[in-house]
């Protein structure tokens, strides 16, 4: 049991350390980071309630995709988005585009940690190892896109509305495609999944490289 708990928490710790090590100009208050993480943990509750209200009556690839998009991705990314907007967006410490990535990743790590602990204790060590490289990083990757556009919305008032829309639309789309690929029961789909996962990793790293070195906008 202790091994499974360690494996369930390990990806959260590694990702948090990696994201925070680039916060070089104005490091975020520890209290705010903890609050965002705990909010992510709590966000699992409304997400589960809302997801159970959506019927799983897909009968084709198109209806399956719509279910993944609106019945899972929109709900999970939506509740995370709401908590970041409530707790982080107007905080005085939000003065860099990269801060948006940090805030969104912290909320997502809270969500992913609770989800991961539940999965690992239900299905065991093999699932823990698999999710260490897939599901938990995926949540952080979706959050990286959310935070990137949220940071741009904060930094550039002239394009605020456009970037605000993208800050929710892009992670929902990325998450929806991720779940859609996993739901397809075909022998060749794992190749597609691996290619898509590599794309997600590269996209997240690119957004981090683009933003962490930019000076504060205040």
User: Encoding tokens for residue 195?
Assistant: 């290619």
Q: Which two tokens stand for residue 129?
A: 């190892």
Spatial CB neighbours of 57, under 8 Å, sequence gap ≥ 6? 63
Residue 97 in contact with residue 154, Cβ under 8 Å? yes
The Cα angle at residue 124 between residues 118 and 130, in degrees rounded to 5 = 90
Helical axes 97-123 vs 74-84, angle rounded to 10°: 130
Q: Mind listing the pLDDT tens digit for each residue in 118-130?
A: 999 898 899 889 9
Confidence bin at 1 (pLDDT 50/70/90): low
pLDDT at 58: 85
| Tokens standing for residue 189 | 């789909």
Tokens representing residue 68 in the block: 């993944």
Per-residue pLDDT reduced to its tens digit, 169-217 = 999 999 999 999 999 988 899 999 999 999 999 999 999 999 999 989 8
Residue identified by tokens 């719509």 is 66
Residue 59 has what pLDDT? 84
Q: State the Cα angle at 68 between 62 and 73, rounded to 5°.
A: 140
SS3 category, 126: helix
Q: 121-132 in b/e burial notation, b at 16+ Cβ within 10 A?
A: eeeeeebbeebb
The 10s digit of each residue's pLDDT in 129-142 is 999 999 999 999 99
C-alpha 135/C-alpha 80 separation (Å) is 16
């Amino acid at each position: 049991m202790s091994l499974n708990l360690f494996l369930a928490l390990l990806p959260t710790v590694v990702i948090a350390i990696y994201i925070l090590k680039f916060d070089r100009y104005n490091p975020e208050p520890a209290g705010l980071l903890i609050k965002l993480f705990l909010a992510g943990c709590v966000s699992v509750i409304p997400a589960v309630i809302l997801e159970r209200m959506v019927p799983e009556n897909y009968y084709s690839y198109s209806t399956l995709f719509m279910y993944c998009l609106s019945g899972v991705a929109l709900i999970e990314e939506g509740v995370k988005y709401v908590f970041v907007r409530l707790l982080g967006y107007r905080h005085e410490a939000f003065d860099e585009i990269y801060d948006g990535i940090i805030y969104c990743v912290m909320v997502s790590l809270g969500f992913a940690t609770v989800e991961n602990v539940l999965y690992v204790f239900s299905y065991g060590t093999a699932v823990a190892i698999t999710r260490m490289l897939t599901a938990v990083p995926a949540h952080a990757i979706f959050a990286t896109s959310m935070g990137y556009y949220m940071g741009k919305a904060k930094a550039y008032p002239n394009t605020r509305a456009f970037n605000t829309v993208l800050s929710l639309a892009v992670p929902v789309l990325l998450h929806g495609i991720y779940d859609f690929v996993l739901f397809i029961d075909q022998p060749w789909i794992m190749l597609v999944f691996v290619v898509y996962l590599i794309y997600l990793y590269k996209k997240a790293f690119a957004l981090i490289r683009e933003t962490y070195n930019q000076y504060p906008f205040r």
